[in-house]
Amino acid sequence: MVSYRDRQSQWLATCPKGLESLLASELESLGALDVKQTVAAVYFAGTQQMAYRVCLWSRLANRILLSLDNFSLDSVEQLYDRCGEIPWEQHFGADKTIAVEFSGTSQLIDNSVFGAQRIKDAIVDRLRRIVGERPSVDLKNPQMRIQARLHRGRVSVALDMSGASLHRRGYRSGQGSAPLKENLAAALLMRAGWTDIATSGGALIDPMCGSGTLLIEAAMMAADVAPGLLRPVFGFHSWAHHDDALWSELVTDAEARRDRGIGQFNLDIRGYDANPRVLEAARLNIEASGFDDHLRVALKPLDQFGKASGDSGLLITNPPYGARLGDAEQLEPLYQKLGAVLQKNFHGWRAAMFTGNLDLARQTDLSPSRQYQFYNGTIPCKLLLFDDMRSKSAQIRARLATPAPVKVLSEGAQMLANRLVKNRRRLAKWLASSGNDCYRLYDADLPEYAVAIDVYGGAFHVQEYVAPASIDERDARQRFAEVKDALANYAPQAKQATHYKERRRQRGDDQYQRIDDKPSQPLIVTEGDARFEVNLGNYLDTGLFLDHRPLRARLADEARGKRFLNLFCYTASASVQVALAGAASSLSCDMSNTYLDWAARNYDLNQLSPDRHRLLRVDCLEWLQPQEDGESELYDLILLDPPTFSNSKKMQSALDVQRDHGHLIRDTMAKLAPGGSLYFSNNFRKFKLDDLISRQFAVANITASTLDVDFQRNPRIHNVWHIQRSAGFQG
C-alpha cells in the first residue's frame, strides 16, 4: 500500500463563496504549496501532515479533499467505469460506512442523485470484487465521504478528510434565530483587522452578539487556539492511511499553544443582546469553548449601550437585516440607534457591520471606509468597515456652511488656474457627449508645473512628475505649492476631496513617491454604464486607469457572446465593461489579493455573476505555461496588459516587459481561439515590439485610436497592439 506520510499530494480546500483569497493566504501561512484559487475552493499541495494541519488549524475551510481522479465525461457508462478503476480498497475497507455527494449536471447526467448512485455502485462493486464484501451506506453520518463534482464536462472525485464540515468547531450547543457559521465569522474578523487590533491590546465588543460566535472566534484567534481542537472525529480517522502518531503530535502541540494562549489572555471581549434566550445560548457556547473566565456577555438593549472601555478596539456586529427576521422598515430604528451609539461613544475605534441590506446600513449616517462582499448562505451581504465615526450628514452640512478662504495667487499659480479653466472649456462638449465623470484635466501643459491632474466625479487626483536633476529641490517644492493654490482657486468646493502624490529626491539618484497620507475613503464613479470603486489617497494608483478608457470601450464593442481573458487584470475594470456588454464569460487573473478583492467589489457594484465572470489569483507567467494534459481552455478575446517590471516575491521569476514580451505574447496566443483577438498593452515609453512577433502574427499598432481627447497631449502614455493569427497559422 502506498504511504501518504511523505508523499506530496494534491488537496482541495472548499469554503463559502467570497472567502477564497483569505483561505489561500491562510493555507500559505500554514505551509501549503502551489496554492491556486478557484470558485468556492482553493487547491494546494502538501504531505499528509499538511492536510492534518489544515484540518486542525484552518479557520476558513469547510472541507479538505484528497483528489483521486479527474476525467472528461463522454458517456454515462464512463462515470461508473472510471470510478470503478479507483483503488478504493487502498483507502477504506468494507467495514466502513460511506456516502457519496455529487454536485453538478450536464446533458449526460441531469440529476445529481443519479450521479451519486452510479459512483456508489462503482465503489461497492469494486470492493465486493476485490475483498469479497461491500460497505454499507449511511447518508447521515458516514465514516467516509466521497465528493464528486461535474463541471464543464469534467468529473473530479475526491475523498473527504474532514468528515463533518470544518466550520463545526464543537463548541456550539445553542444558537439564535440566524447564527453565523463559524468560518464566516472568522473571515469577517480577519477582514475587519482584528488580528492587528488584538496584538496592540485593543478590545472587542459585539452589541448584538446572539449566540456569541463572533466573540468566541475572536478569542480563539487572539489566544492562538486551533479551531479543530474540540472536534472529536475527522474523516481521516477512518482512512486506511491514517497516522495516529502524526495526528497526536499535531494535537499535542496545538494543546500546548492553547494552554499558553489562554493562560496569557488579557483582552477585553464583551457581548450584549436584548434577547435572554439567545444570551443563554451564548453563555453555554462560551463555556464549551473554554473561554468562560475571559468573555463577558450581558443582557442589554442597544439603546442602553454605554460608552466604550479603552481608547481603541473593534466593534463588530451582525444585526438583523430583514431577510429572515422581519420587515426591513421595522429595523430602521435599530440601525439608527447603532449609528448614534458609534458617533457618540466610539471615536478612535473601528466598527464593522455585516449586513445584507445596504439601505438599512445607510440609516447609521456613517460613511464606510471599506467594504467587502460575502455570502451568508445564499444571501449576498457586505461587511462595512467604519474608521470615521463622524455623522456623514453633519460633515456635508459643515462643508456647505464653510466659505472657501480667498487667497491671492502668484503669477505662476494664476497662469495655471487660467489653464485649468481653458482646458475644462475645451473638454466640455466631449464630456457632455461621452457621459464620463472621470477624465484628465491637465497633463504638464505648462513645463514649469509638471503634474497630471485627473478628475474623479467631484474629486481631484494630482500626481507630480519626477523633476529633472537640473531643477532645484526648493524650486520644485515652491511650484508644487503653487499647483495646490491654483487648484484650490479653480475648485474651492473640492479642497477636502483633492489628493496629491509628490515625488521627492533622496540622496544620490534614488527616487521615491510619497503617498498622500490623508485618510481616503473609496469613491464610486461611472464610465458609461459601468460603476467603479476608486481610491485616490491610499495607493499609488487609483484603481481605474483613465487612459485605457477607449480600449475598454473597444473590448466591450467586440465582447458580445465571447469568452474573455484578462491577464494582469488589476481591478478588472476592462472585465466589467466586457461583462456588461454581453460577454458569454470572463476570467480575470492577477496575483494580488488587494487587486482581486477590489475587482470583486467592482463586480458587486455592477451586479455581475461570479460564476460566469471569474476572478483567479495566479502568477500569470506560470499560468500561461502549457498544461501537462495538453488541454487548455481557449478564449475569443484577450487583454494582455502586463506591468513594465515586476519582481514580486510571489512570482517564480521577475518580469521585464521589454525583455519578456515575445514569450509572453506567444504563450498568450496559445490561449486564443481561432478568429479571436488579442490586445497587448504596456506603459513602457521606450518600448519596441519584437520583429519576430510581427512576422509570426497579424499585428496592428492601434495606440493612436486608444487615446481620448483628454490624453492626446501625451501620446506615449501607453502602447496598444491588436494581434491576430496570420492566415495559415498552425499554433
- pLDDT higher than 80, residue 258: yes
- pLDDT higher than 80, residue 175: no
Instruction: For the chain, give every residue range classified as CATH 3.30.750.80.
Output: 407-514
Helix H or strand E segment including 187: helix 182-191
- Listed range (139-143, 153-157, 476-480) with the worst mean pLDDT: 476-480
- pLDDT higher than 80, residue 515: no
- Per-residue model confidence as pLDDT tens digits over 9-37: 999 999 998 899 999 999 999 999 999 99
pLDDT value for 731? 41
- Per-residue model confidence as pLDDT tens digits over 460-470: 999 998 777 67
Q: Which residue has the higher pLDDT, 308 or 587?
A: 587
- Cα three-residue angle 374-378-384, rounded to 5 degrees: 25
CA-atom Rg of the chain in angstroms? 29
Residues 588/600, Cβ–Cβ less than 8 Å: no
pLDDT value for 468? 73
Residue 83 makes CB contacts below 8 A (sequence gap 6+) with: 69, 118, 119, 122, 123, 148, 157
Provide the Cα torsion 591, 594, 596, 597; round to 10°: 150
- Listed range (81-85, 231-235, 390-394) with the worst mean pLDDT: 390-394
| pLDDT interval class at 506 (50, 70, 90) | very low
Average pLDDT over every residue of 430-447: 88
Q: Please state, as a whole number, how many other Cβ atoms lie within 10 Å of the Cβ of residue 577.
A: 26
Most confident of 190-199, 307-316, 502-511: 190-199
Determine the 3-state secondary structure of 688 from DSSP.
coil
Rounded to an integer, what distance in angstroms lies between the CA atom of residue 462 and that of residue 91?
62
557: left (phi over 0), alpha (psi -120 to 50) or beta: alpha
Rounded to an integer, what distance in angstroms lies between the CA atom of residue 15 and that of residue 407?
57
First and final C-alpha spacing in the chain:
43
Helices (H) and strands (E) in the chain, counts: 20, 31
Rounded to an integer, what distance in angstroms lies between the CA atom of residue 3 and that of residue 1?
6
- pLDDT higher than 90, residue 5: no
- Per-residue model confidence as pLDDT tens digits over 533-575: 999 988 888 999 999 999 999 999 999 999 999 999 999 999 9
Q: Which residue has the higher pLDDT, 430 or 5?
A: 430
pLDDT value for 714? 86
Residues 624/668, Cβ–Cβ less than 8 Å: yes
| pLDDT interval class at 511 (50, 70, 90) | very low
- pLDDT higher than 60, residue 242: yes
Rounded to an integer, what distance in angstroms lies between the CA atom of residue 182 and that of residue 168?
7
pLDDT value for 20? 93
- Per-residue model confidence as pLDDT tens digits over 278-291: 999 999 999 999 99
Percent with pLDDT over 70 in the chain: 92
Provide the Cα torsion 158, 162, 164, 170; round to 10°: -170
Query: At the topology level of CATH, where does 9-160 sit?
Result: VC0802-like (3.30.2130)
Average pLDDT, the chain: 90
Grid coordinates of 241: 492511511
Determine the 3-state secondary structure of 640 from DSSP.
strand
pLDDT value for 400? 64
Average pLDDT over every residue of 41-46: 95
Average pLDDT over every residue of 80-106: 95
Residues 62/17, Cβ–Cβ less than 8 Å: no
Grid coordinates of 170: 464543537
Average pLDDT over every residue of 239-263: 96
SS3 content of the chain, % helix, strand, coil (to 5): 35, 25, 40
- pLDDT higher than 50, residue 324: no
- pLDDT higher than 90, residue 309: no
pLDDT value for 510? 39
pLDDT value for 2? 58
Strand partners, 38: 41
Average pLDDT over every residue of 351-370: 93
Task: Report DSSP letters for 308-320, one per residue.
Answer: PSSS-EEEEE---
Cα dist. 322→339, 352, 360, 362, 664 in Å?
18, 19, 9, 14, 50
Query: At the topology level of CATH, where does 545-725 sit?
Result: Rossmann fold (3.40.50)
Which strands sit side by side in the sheet containing 370-376, from one edge to the other? 295-299, 269-273, 203-206, 313-317, 350-355, 379-386, 370-376
Residue whose grid cell is 456588454: 581
- pLDDT higher than 90, residue 667: yes
| pLDDT interval class at 402 (50, 70, 90) | low
> Which CATH superfamily does the domain covering 182-223+265-395 fall into?
Vaccinia Virus protein VP39 (3.40.50.150)
- pLDDT higher than 60, residue 676: yes
Task: Report DSSP letters for 214-254, one per residue.
Answer: HHHHHHHHHTT--TTTT-S--GGGGSTT--HHHHHHHHHHH
DSSP 324: S
Instruction: For the chain, give every residue range classified as CATH 3.40.50.150.
Output: 182-223+265-395, 545-725
Determine the 3-state secondary structure of 103 from DSSP.
strand
Determine the 3-state secondary structure of 441 from DSSP.
strand
- pLDDT higher than 50, residue 428: yes
- Identify the burial level of 602 via C-beta atoms within 10 angstroms of its C-beta, where 0-12 means exposed, 13-18 middle and 19 or more buried: buried
Name the CATH architecture for the domain at 407-514.
2-Layer Sandwich (3.30)
Instruction: For the chain, give every residue range classified as CATH 3.30.2130.30.
Output: 9-160
Rounded to an integer, what distance in angstroms lies between the CA atom of residue 535 and that of residue 593?
16
- pLDDT higher than 90, residue 471: no
